A and B are shown apart, each in its own frame.
Chain A
Amino acid sequence: MAADKPATDALQGAAVVDVRGVEKRFANGTQALAPVDLAVRPGEFVTLLGPSGCGKSTLLRTIAGLTQPSAGTLRWWGGGMAGVGEPGRKLVFVFQDATLMPWTRVRANVRLPLDLAGVPREEADARVDASLALVGLAKFDRHYPRELSGGMQMRTSIARALVTEPDLLLLDEPFGALDEITRNKLDADLLALWWRKRFTVMFVTHSIYEAVFLSTRVVVMSARPGRVFREIVIDAPHPRSEGFRVTQQFAAYAKLLSECLLEASTEGAPQGNAGAPSGGVVGMAGKPGAST
């Protein structure tokens, strides 16, 4: 791995994830990510917000080590990928869908990371119990995944992520397939967990409201090629309750993000496809905030 030399300056060491000039070009020549710079500090809840195809999932998968960048460097806690997984440097990834093994029960699904790591059965089971309790599924450990609702399957997936006691939680549109009511509930529960456990979160979404509600900082991305367009700090106190959704401040941030996304799309379009007519994008300009 390219980024294996130890951290040089203290600031770099402080970042949980430090992305510098990371690019991603696929084999077919598509540039998914233009050079991206991004640093995430301990305890932050950073959301990557953008339209589909803006490379936010690619960026998250690169940070997770699931794909290699074509250029640029990545550092985790000031070090390379080899140090990830050691105490204090644990990273987990939560997928778009629950990704559960249908042939085992909830308990065995949640215990999987511990089983693979060779944690003794008794200790593992105790940790599974604790993890299931955190997501409110204590009574469902004997169920098969198919017996659970979509929201409960997602909770199982999060329990499986929490069982390793991660320091960095990467979530790739985890609640995108759920209905809004369930999603709001899971958002609130995730936020409460983050507040209580103090891990660092990177969260991918295309929902403006989800981004405002959850984040300490929103990274707005634009498409073709994917890059960071603007970063907006959501300066509202934690812990946040459901009541935050109906405040003036929430509405103002939602408006700001909508405008920002709109700006990103109008500015981004001609650049990615020079010479092509961008009529569709211009036509949208009349009605800001109409997204989602």
Chain B
Amino acid sequence: MKRDWLGKVVAPAAVGVFVLALWQWLVTALEVPVYLVPSPLVVAQTLVDDRVLLLGSLWVTLKVTFAAFVIAVLGGTAMAFVFVQSRWVERSLFPYAVLLQVTPIVAIAPLIIIWVDNAGVALTLCAAIVAIFPVISNTTLGLRSVSPGLVDLFRMNKATRWQTLARLRIPSALPYFFGGLRISSGLSLIGAVVAEFVAGTGGTGAGLAYQILVSGFQLNVPRLFAALFLITLTGVVLFVLMVWLSRLALGDWHESELMIEP
């Protein structure tokens, strides 16, 4: 257990520290100007100095991300339940779900922003469109991936449709659902950032993407790096959160979450 921890945390942390040190050393040694590549220390300093501005933007982006994620999960799961009701429903609707997935959000975002008055709502909608597909497809697959033997068992015990759903289909679908959640959480963030880039909303509703845009125009590269760092950090935290949730739900029984003993 102790060695496991060592491998999981210390090794990647060491790599991170090494890369940062190398970066710092190269930038100092080669005297790279700060408007091209700022050193890690300068970025850290910027994070502290501009914290009010950056944290405010982070909060804006987070709100959009979470709202989009919640919509994607609820909407996607609801769609999946509709899909598994009959093959006909799935055949008629699935192509449109795919359409949603393959259309680049950058291409439809301007339209949505024109149609929807409220900028926050428009951004959330864009991000939700990006994030919804993995939830739909994974949950649908999961609800269908039920062991045929168990289906027979439930049938022979005269289980009602509801009992079969609650006791068999939903538990069977959980591993797939959490797989979808992991992908979808990352996509919510990406969707929120991309939509904001397209929208270019400023003023009080300025998110991290806006800060990156403006910092680029002003050649304020340290702030650009600081904003980028916050976006990446958010993505990692989201991913870890999903892994933790999935372990909480499946840890006791599913193969994907079992510890393999050496």
Write the residues of chain A forming the contact surface with B, with a CB cutoff of 8 angstroms. 64-66, 85, 92-93, 95-97, 99, 101-104, 112-113, 115-117, 144, 146
Interface check B252, CB cutoff 8 A: yes
A64 to B153, CA, bound (A): 11
B157, A117: Cβ atoms closer than 8 Å: yes
B157, A112: Cβ atoms closer than 8 Å: yes
**Closest CB of chain A to B248's CB: distance in Å?**
13
**Closest CB of chain B to A76's CB: distance in Å?**
13
Of A65, A66, A101, A115, the most chain B CB neighbours within 10 A belong to: A101
Give 13 pairs: A residue, B residue, CB < 8 Å, sorted on A. A66-B155, A93-B152, A95-B149, A99-B147, A101-B171, A102-B253, A103-B174, A103-B252, A115-B167, A116-B157, A116-B158, A117-B158, A146-B258
Inter-chain residue pair count (beta carbon < 8 A): 51
Interface residues on B, range: 20 to 34
**Closest CB of chain B to A259's CB: distance in Å?**
35
A97, B149: Cβ atoms closer than 8 Å: yes
B163, A116: Cβ atoms closer than 8 Å: yes
Q: Which residues on A sit within 8 Å (CB–CB) of B255?
A: 146
Write the residues of chain B forming the contact surface with A, with a CB cutoff of 8 angstroms. 147, 149-150, 152-159, 163, 167-168, 171, 174, 252-255, 258
B253, A113: Cβ atoms closer than 8 Å: no
Q: Which residues on A sit within 8 Å (CB–CB) of B149?
A: 95-97, 99
**Closest CB of chain A to B102's CB: distance in Å?**
34
List the 4 closest A-B pairs by CB distance, nearest first.
A99-B149, A116-B157, A103-B171, A103-B253
Q: Which residues on B sit within 8 Å (CB–CB) of A66?
A: 152, 155-156
Q: Which residues on A sit within 8 Å (CB–CB) of B152?
A: 66, 93, 95, 99
A95 nearest in chain B by CB position: B149
A101 to B172, CA, bound (A): 9
**Closest CB of chain B to A103's CB: distance in Å?**
5
B168, A101: Cβ atoms closer than 8 Å: yes
**Closest CB of chain B to A175's CB: distance in Å?**
16
A144, B153: Cβ atoms closer than 8 Å: no
B157, A64: Cβ atoms closer than 8 Å: no
Contacting residue for B252 out of A92, A93, A96, A144, CB 8 A: A144
**Closest CB of chain A to B258's CB: distance in Å?**
8
A101, B150: Cβ atoms closer than 8 Å: yes
A113 to B154, CA, bound (A): 8
A66 to B159, CA, bound (A): 14
Of B152, B156, B159, the most chain A CB neighbours within 10 A belong to: B156
A97-B149, A99-B149, A101-B171 given; A116·B253 CB < 8 A: no
Of B150, B168, B258, the most chain A CB neighbours within 10 A belong to: B150
A116 to B156, CA, bound (A): 11
A95-B149, A99-B149 given; A146·B156 CB < 8 A: no
**Closest CB of chain B to A147's CB: distance in Å?**
10
